[in-house]
Amino acid sequence: MPSANLDAVIIGGGHNGLVCGFYLARAGLNVRVLERRGVVGGAAVTEEFFPGFRNSTASYTVSLLNPKVIADMRLHERGLSIVERPIANFLPQPAGGYLKVGGGLERTQAEFRKVSAHDAAALPAYYAALEAVADVLRELALKTPPNAGGGPRALLALAAQGRGLARRPIATQRDVLDLFAKSARAFLDGWFESEAVKAAFGFDAVVGAYASPDAPGSAYVLLHHVFGEVNGKKGAWGHAIGGMGAITQAMAEACEEAGVAISLDAPVAEVLTEADAAVGVRLESGETVMAARVVANVGPRILYERLIDPAALPDDFRRRMRGYRTGSGTFRMNVALCELPDFTCLPGKDPAEHHMSGVIIAPTLDYMDRAFSDARQFGWSKAPIVEMLIPSTVDDSLAPPGAHVASLFCQQFAPVLPDGRSWDDEREAAADLIVETVTAHAPNFRASILGRMILSPLDLERRFGLAGGDIFHGALSLDQLWAARPVLGHGDYRGPLKGLYMCGAGTHPGGGVTGAPGHNAAREILADRSLLGRLLR
């Protein structure tokens, strides 16, 4: 395609880049997506990581993907099938025994009764409160935040979005404040007494958040993990048959059908600017692609620190972006298994519901707090936070018959190791520790591993283009959310240069496989084309 007549060039073919490209092309724009890797999908891909074994190598579970995006891109018609797990989580306990969460309210209450009658009784009200706040988030997910310093349109958005919240019952408004401002521990202390129950819910607060569950604002990350749904079931998490790549391959098909040109192995080296406008990009190959609009699916830190000449950016903006926090403290492994883990607390190697759930090794909030402080000091903790999912128990397309693949998703691993140490030298040791941590609960685990793919924070950066290995393109903290994502004054998907837009997880509503940033960015880009849209700005 000749680049001269491009309406938009999108840097990155992650799921949000694809979603944005789809909506733009559907509205008649001439769009080209430039993806650095040989596969689209960004952090939502399925790859063979060991001969005969495939897995979602980065993100691995679905919930947040917006139903409107699914419908508009006709992802189900393109073959996307998402299955629920029988229960959500299985938590082996340090003193023996286990806790199962999910599979219906009554079942979870019965489980909680093992540790606290009070907590079992509190559960319905807790779920209802969380659900009410998650509804607020759901309502905001596809709305453009009111842009600080914006024109009448921003004021209208502020009034509408503020009124939506003000209409909620006072209890919900209080819960909103709690979840946005409190630490996960303070929030959960208000509901439960058992450390095991608090850990079962508090785990979500440290996923992708390099922070203690005692950090003010950490409760928000917990909320961020419950605003999705699977097949209409709110708050549930599921598995995409064929892995996360099934989502992004279906998205790519929708894009191509709408007329988007997708170029693979096309890393962008630089955004081209003229005066105060973005006018195109230069690829590492030397090719120049000119376009009326440049849309960045890459995270803000990569866009503003690596792809744009600093002299082209306003000084204050540049300084603030230097303070933008990335680095989620995530360590990820994919393992090929010859058999399922046989847990001491629940023996058996035949597939059972606990094998189909998220197995969580993080028994208390204190354990999680220690994992963070150890990581700050030493790089990682000898008692790491581990979640393991075995998708082959619900999807036989991923491993040979009788064999399995597991995703190990581990938190509080320093994005940058202290004392000048490098992840290149230490990834194997950290991986061994993670394997030992699981083996302590399932003695056959270490010996069952046929092959493994290790992704330290540095590997996540190199392989997936995630600054600091940040799974969300930037911390989900109050100072980097909603109208302040990535920075106040640019919370409406528009960058600081004319014709420059952002459509990735570093914009509202943040990380996760949601499609929402891509959807919203496309709407703003299209609004800027209309006279009314421009007048209202």
Ligand X SMILES: Cc1cc2nc3c(=O)[nH]c(=O)nc-3n(C[C@H](O)[C@H](O)[C@H](O)COP(=O)(O)OP(=O)(O)OC[C@H]3O[C@@H](n4cnc5c(N)ncnc54)[C@H](O)[C@@H]3O)c2cc1C
C-beta separation of 247 from 514 below 8 A: no
Exposure class string for 199-234: b at 16+ Cβ within 10 A, else e: bbbbbbbbbbbbbbbbbebbbbbbbbbbbbbbeeeb
Per-residue x/- track, 254-293, ligand X (CB under 6 A): -------------xx-------------------------
- Least distance to ligand X, CB of residue 330, Å: 5
Count of residues engaged in binding ligand X, rule: CB under 6 A: 38
Enumerate residues 437-476 that contact ligand X by CB under 6 A.
Answer: 460, 464-466, 471-472
505 is a site residue for ligand X (CB under 6 A): yes
**Window of 11-19, 70-78, 163-171, 521-529 that interacts with ligand X by CB under 6 A:** 11-19
C-beta separation of 108 from 91 below 8 A: no
- Least distance to ligand X, CB of residue 268, Å: 4
**Window of 111-119, 249-257, 339-347, 510-518 that interacts with ligand X by CB under 6 A:** 510-518
- Least distance to ligand X, CB of residue 69, Å: 12
What is the 8-class DSSP label of residue 144?
Answer: P
d(CA 195, CA 513): 30
36 is a site residue for ligand X (CB under 6 A): yes
- Which amino acid is present at 512? G
Identify which of residues 36 and 427 has a Cβ nearer to ligand X in the complex.
Answer: 36
**Window of 34-42, 114-122, 359-367, 430-438 that interacts with ligand X by CB under 6 A:** 34-42
Which residues contact residue 245 at a Cβ distance below 8 angstroms, ignoring those fewer than 6 apart? 39, 41, 44, 45, 46, 47, 56
- Least distance to ligand X, CB of residue 9, Å: 10
Q: In 147-231, which ranges are E strands?
A: 229-230
Identify which of residues 486 and 504 has a Cβ nearer to ligand X in the complex.
Answer: 504
- Residue 464 has, within 13 A of its CA and on its CB side, a CA count of 29
Which residues contact residue 8 at a Cβ distance below 8 angstroms, ignoring those fewer than 6 apart? 21, 24, 29, 30, 31, 32, 291, 292, 293, 294, 295, 525
Exactly one of 11, 240, 272, 336 binds ligand X (CB under 6 A); which one? 11
List the Cα angle 80/84/86 in 5-degree steps: 155
24 is a site residue for ligand X (CB under 6 A): no
16 is a site residue for ligand X (CB under 6 A): yes
**Window of 37-45, 126-134, 272-280, 368-376 that interacts with ligand X by CB under 6 A:** 37-45
Tokens of 464: 């997936």
Of the candidates 48, 58, 350, 353, the residue with the CA atom closest to the CA atom of residue 208: 58
Interacting residues toward ligand X by CB under 6 A: 11-17, 34-37, 42-44, 58-61, 64, 267-268, 297-298, 302, 330, 332, 409, 460, 464-466, 471-472, 504-505, 511-513
